[in-house]
């Protein structure tokens, strides 16, 4: 139980860092403004009412609450799993990153009706959809979740 608190604290830190970065962006960049950072990187301010890659962004508004409830449900399940298995470090880290990112984006959905995105990468005229700190945590968490699942399966087979 005690170790699970460390994972919850890390998820909380991700939420705080995500919200601070969005607070800075909202105070510094106008919607539609593009600030050049490097040949492959811009700062922008975008509001995404959908999910990853603007999935369902064109819907009339139901998706706001659908993704909010989904993220809260997944985060609740993750909190339960972290409490049960805090010793599985890689899996716990992966789940913690997903939970922290999901909760950071839930705050945006409740406050603004959309997720605040501000990091834009591009190359050779191709622009990756804008994203944020929470999205990054979710993405890294998902990759680590796959690695942890494959590693855990190999450990079971070798036992």
Catalytic residue numbers, as ranges: 117, 135
CB 4 within 8 A of CB 86: yes
CB atoms within 10 A of CB 87: 9
């Amino acid at each position: 139980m005690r170790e699970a608190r460390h994972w919850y604290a890390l998820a909380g830190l991700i939420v705080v860092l995500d919200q601070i970065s969005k607070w800075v962006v909202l105070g510094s960049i106008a919607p539609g403004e593009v600030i050049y950072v490097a040949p492959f990187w811009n700062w922008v301010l975008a509001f995404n009412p959908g999910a990853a890659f603007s999935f369902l962004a064109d819907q009339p508004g139901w998706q706001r609450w659908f993704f909010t409830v989904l993220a809260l449900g997944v985060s609740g399940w993750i909190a339960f799993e972290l409490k049960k298995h805090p010793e599985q470090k890689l899996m716990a880290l992966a789940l913690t990153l997903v939970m922290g990112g999901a909760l950071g984006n839930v705050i945006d959905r409740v406050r603004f009706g959309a997720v605040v995105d501000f990091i834009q990468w591009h190359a050779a005229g191709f622009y990756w959809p804008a994203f944020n700190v929470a999205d990054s945590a979710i993405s890294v968490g998902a990759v680590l979740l796959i690695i942890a699942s494959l590693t855990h399966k190999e450990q079971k087979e070798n036992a």
